Amino acid sequence: MIQKKHIIDRFISYVTIDTESDPESNTTPSTKKQWDLANKLVEELKTIGLEDVTIDKNAYIMATLPSNVDKEVPTIGFISHFDTTPDFTGANVKPQIIENYDGKDIVLNKSENIILSPDYFEDLKLYTGQTLITTDGTTLLGADDKAGIAEIVTAMEYLIKHPEIKHGKIRVGFTPDEEIGRGAHKFDVQKFAADWAYTMDGSQIGELEYENFNAAGAVVTIKGKIVHPGYAKGKMINSMYIAQDFINSLPRMETPEHTSDREGFFHLHNMKGDVEETQLQYIIRDHDKEHFEARKEVMRKLAIEINNQHNKEVVKVEIKDQYYNMREKVEPVMHIVDIAEKAMKSIGITPMIKPIRGGTDGSQLSYMGLPCPNIFAGGHNFHGRYEYVPVESMIKAVEVIIKIAELTATEKNTN
**What's the one-letter identity of residue 23?**
P
Phi, psi at residue 52, to the nearest 5°? 50, 40
Say if residues 21 and 84 touch (Cβ distance below 8 Å): yes
Pairing mode of beta strands 196-202, 76-81: parallel
Q: Enumerate the β-bridge partners of residue 208.
A: 353, 375
Q: What does the alpha-carbon distance between residue 320 and residue 282 come to, in Å, rounded to a whole number?
A: 11
Which residue of the set 18, 22, 178, 211 is catalytic? 178
Residue type, 126: L
Written as one letter, the residue type at 196 is W
Question: Tell me, what DSSP letter sits at residue 168?
Answer: -
Closest CA to 133 of 5, 36, 17: 5
Residues 42 and 88: their CA atoms lie apart, in Å, by: 27
Distance of alpha carbon 203 from its chain centroid, rounded? 9
Residue 84 has what DSSP assignment?
B
313 labelled catalytic: no
Check if 387 is active-site: no
Among 34, 90, 148, 17, residue whose Cα is nearest residue 383: 90
> Beta 374-376 vs 207-209: how paired, if at all?
antiparallel
The single residue of 18, 20, 22, 83 carrying the catalytic annotation is 83
The residue length of the chain stands at: 415
Active site residues: 83, 178
